[in-house]
Amino acid sequence: MNFHVMTLFPEMIERAMNESITGRAIKAGYISVDAVNIRDFANNKHNRVDDYPYGGGAGMVMQAEPVYRCYESICHSIGNERPRVVFMTPQGRTFNQKIAEELSQEEDLVLLCGHYEGIDERVLEKIVTDNVSIGDYVLTGGELPALVVMDTISRLVPGVLNNGMSAVKESFSDNLLEYPQYTRPEEWMGEKVPPVLLSGHHKNIAAWYREQSILRTAKNRPDLLEKAELTEKERDWLYKQQERK
């Protein structure tokens, strides 16, 4: 997976992506991150890429030309005239695991980060294939959302996680939240690890994991249960658990 980030702050992208799991994945060659500075494509000596909005209003708007020239440079470098371009915007569809899985199938993925009051609509209509949001709130720019998207997608790339099953078992992969996790010591501040996890009985442990995922989802994200594939037996069991409370 090759990420190409169109941004005014390439150092922000590079610093974050070169840490932890994604940093190791870059060194191992599982993913690559090319943060391209939009200012490098400005056509003025001050590398200015913004101007006042037509029609008035507060703030500044990023100009179409430097954004488009940056896009053309990326297209040329990867040999693709029409790559998938994800624009980070609160007006987009809300990012989730399903979208991450969809985007992870791309060989090259371009992410466009806006700033100021936005980007000239004309260039967005010309190059953007996907509008994606990470939530209903406003951030200073698109860099943090782009990092969220890249981190999530990177975990789905084969080889990035040491345990190939980790990405499959994590929260949201089957519309269920992840089960509780425990490690040493067996007892901490009077609280003990659930006995089933110490039993060594893998079938019972797997069943406990499943039950805990269902319970946690019902408590914290009941909206997800509508999409989760539960058996009739599991739904009856959940109903009885909820009746006891």
Question: In the chain, at which residue ranges do the beta strands (DSSP E only) sit?
Answer: 2-7, 32-37, 50-51, 61-62, 84-94, 108-112, 130-133, 187-188, 191-192
Distance from C-alpha of 143 to C-alpha of 88, rounded to nearest angstrom? 8
Token pair of 152 as six digits? 């999530």
- Residue with tokens 């695991």, as numbered in its chain: 97
What number of other Cβ atoms are within 10 A of residue 58's Cβ? 6
Burial degree of 211 (CB within 10 A; 0-12, 13-18, 19+) = middle
Domains and CATH numbers, the chain: 2-154 (3.40.1280.10), 171-243 (1.10.1270.20)
DSSP 171: T
The tens-digit pLDDT sequence of the chain (245 residues) is: 999 999 999 999 999 999 999 999 999 999 999 999 999 999 998 999 999 999 998 999 999 999 999 999 999 999 999 999 999 999 999 999 999 999 999 999 999 999 999 999 999 999 999 999 999 999 999 999 999 999 999 999 999 998 765 666 565 668 999 999 999 999 999 999 999 999 999 999 999 999 999 999 999 999 999 999 999 999 999 999 999 87
Report the residue count for the chain.
Answer: 245
Question: In 154-227, at which residue ranges do the beta strands (DSSP E only) sit?
Answer: 187-188, 191-192
- Residue with tokens 């430097």, as numbered in its chain: 66
